[in-house]
Structures are given as structure tokens and as C-alpha cells.
A = this chain, B = another copy of it.
């Protein structure tokens, strides 16, 4: 039997990176609703992100999105983050919001467009040097809407070429992390639709290129934990973008739609060594709080990851292994479910208190007056969103 006390020390090394854009407004093609107090610039986003870490102890770094988080002085942004108790993390490129990218970016047929997109990634690498970031994360909106619109094979070759050019520019300490996505915004084909394509592309690049698995970017019914297992086995899982979905890429709070799936993913994370001391797998969120409060939404998300990590660690691996080797289907499944159904919330509250953190982060945040303060202070200006 594995007890909470045994696993508690392992929880200390958990670190989940927050996306700066989760604190800005987001929505659907139908409407982006606004919220009072929404940040107007990267500094305010980082201040909000720091609140999540302050109350949970789980989120010490913040990922940036370029150009949304472009600033004149990255040293100042670093210092600002440090002042707030967090650091800057992954740099995410963006090649989907200029008119020039209407028909693609790194995979586009037009060489000028590809060069523009490559140059943007060079800028991102410059920023990585300034921020001390390790990972350059590339998600591409590239694809087509109609059969025949473009040549998928040629695009794949162009993509390989563009990525190689970017890869060659990376610093020694950098990694390139390529994210795949089933569909949206392209509706017929995307140029990196599945883990197989991302794997083939990054394998061709070299050791510093890895795959990013966004939990919302798969076909209906896909067994995501299998992919986690496989990418870890192949040594190519670079990072996670955590979120949840009922239908498409809904970008809901992690664990909200299918908590059992999140558990199974964390089980494979632990099984495959991605949670071991020294693991280089990055755990990030990527979400949209379209209608709910953003800061507590992020808190809820990192707490959900922590709870499921605790449950995954609680699995009695020896008993499980024995049941598996005997093909005792019900016993093996029961050992999994036993960990899943264990209520870890009270021991986690105690764990938090023992580390000087609030037992109930959401209540403490709500009582802190932070929300009221930003609502009062952040008046005027342009609320940050996917377009800024």
C-alpha cells in the first residue's frame, strides 16, 4: 500500500507553467466576452499569474506568447516577474494573426511568407536569450480548408525545411517543441495534425527537437495516455499543454471534462519517468477562461493537476504489476480505480499548510482583495486578448 505520507515529498517538485494569455480575454468566433480587471499588458498578466503561484505553490513560471507579450525591455519584464516570485518560461511563437499568414506560415507555398515566419522565430529566439527561456514552442495554424487547395506533400517538405532553418538558430541550451493539432483553424487538413507527424518532423531535426502534446488536439476517442506512453518511450515528449474538452479544442479547465482521463495521463507520466527528479518534460497549461474568472480558473487547473498527480503516485505499483502478470483484469483495474477514488484533498490541504501555503487557495485568494483591486485599478486601456 502506498500512503499519502510516502508520496508527499514527491509533490514538492511539481511545477506547472502558466500561459500568460490565459489571463487575457478569450472566446469563440461568436463572441469574446470581457471581464473587469483583465490585464492590459504583459506586466499585468504576470502579476496575475503570480497570484496563482502565491496561493498554490505550483506555478513558478509563466510562458509568453510573441507578439502578444512583446515588450521593449525584457530585462525589466524578468525583473518584474522575479519581484512577483515567478520566472519567465517557454516562448510561444505566433504565425496566425497577420494577413500574410492567410494561407499558411512555415508550410506555406509562398517562399516570402515562409521567410517572414522564419524571421519571426528568429525574433523569438532572440527573446529567449533575453528571457533565459529554454523552450521555443511552435504551434502552427497552417493547413487548408478545401481538398486541392494546396499540395500537402510540398507543404510538408517546406515545413521540414523551415523547421530546420529555425532549429539551426537555436542556442545550445534551447529546445524546439513542435505541437500538433487535429483541426482548427484549418478545416480540411492541418500540416501537423497528429503525433506521428510531429514525431517524424522533430526526429529529422535532432536531439533538441521534441513534441508538445496538447490534450485538446486529438480526434474524438483518441487514447491520449497511450501517446504519452509512446512519446516517452521514444524519448521525444517535450512538453504538455494541459486543458480539457468535451468536443473539439474547447480549452476548458484541466480535468473539468474528464477527470479520469487526466488521471490516466498522469499515471503514464509517472510510469514513463516524466515526473522523475531531473525530468525535462515541461508541464504547461493552455486554456481559455471564456466565461469564468481567470485567476481562480488557473488555480483550479493547477490544483487539479496536483490532485491527479497525487492519485497517480498513490497507485500500488507492486500489486498492480502482480495483478497484470496474472491477467487478473478486475484486480488490476481495481488497483487503478482505488487510487483514482481516493480523496486526496484533505491531505493536500495539510501538505500546503505544512509548506506555508493556504489550505484553501481559492478561498484565500477570494478573501485577499486582489480581484477587487485590479477591477478598480485597471480602468481604461485595451484589455489583453488573443489579438493583443
Chain A interface residues toward B at CB < 8 A: 26-34, 96-97, 99, 101-103, 109-110, 141, 144-153, 156-157, 182-185, 187-189, 193-197, 199-200, 218-223, 225-227, 229-230, 232-234, 245-248, 250, 252-253, 256-260, 264, 267-268, 271-272, 290-293, 296-297, 300, 307, 320-321, 324-325, 327, 329-330, 332-337, 340-343, 345, 362, 386
Contact = CB atoms under 8 A, between A and B. Distances in A.
Contact of A324 (B149, B245, B271): B149
**4 closest A-B pairs by CB:** A196-B196, A148-B336, A219-B219, A28-B185
A86 to B, nearest CB: 22
Contacts of A271: 151, 153
A144 B252 CA distance: 11
Contacts of A272: 153
Contact of A219 (B27, B222, B290, B336): B222
Given A145-B292, A332-B150, A246 B221 contact: yes
B268 A152 contact: yes
Given A219-B222, A256-B333, A330-B362, 12 more contacts: A28-B184, A31-B185, A34-B99, A145-B292, A147-B267, A148-B333, A153-B272, A196-B196, A197-B230, A292-B330, A297-B330, A342-B343
Quickly give the copy total for this chain.
4
Nearest to A96: B30
Given A31-B97, A97-B31, A147 B329 contact: no
A256 to B, nearest CB: 6
Contact of A199 (B196, B343, B386): B196
B27 A185 contact: yes
Contacts of A345: 341
Contact of A196 (B148, B149, B194, B248): B194
A103 to B, nearest CB: 5
Which of A194, A220, A248, A327 has the most chain B CB atoms closer than 10 A to its own CB? Answer: A327
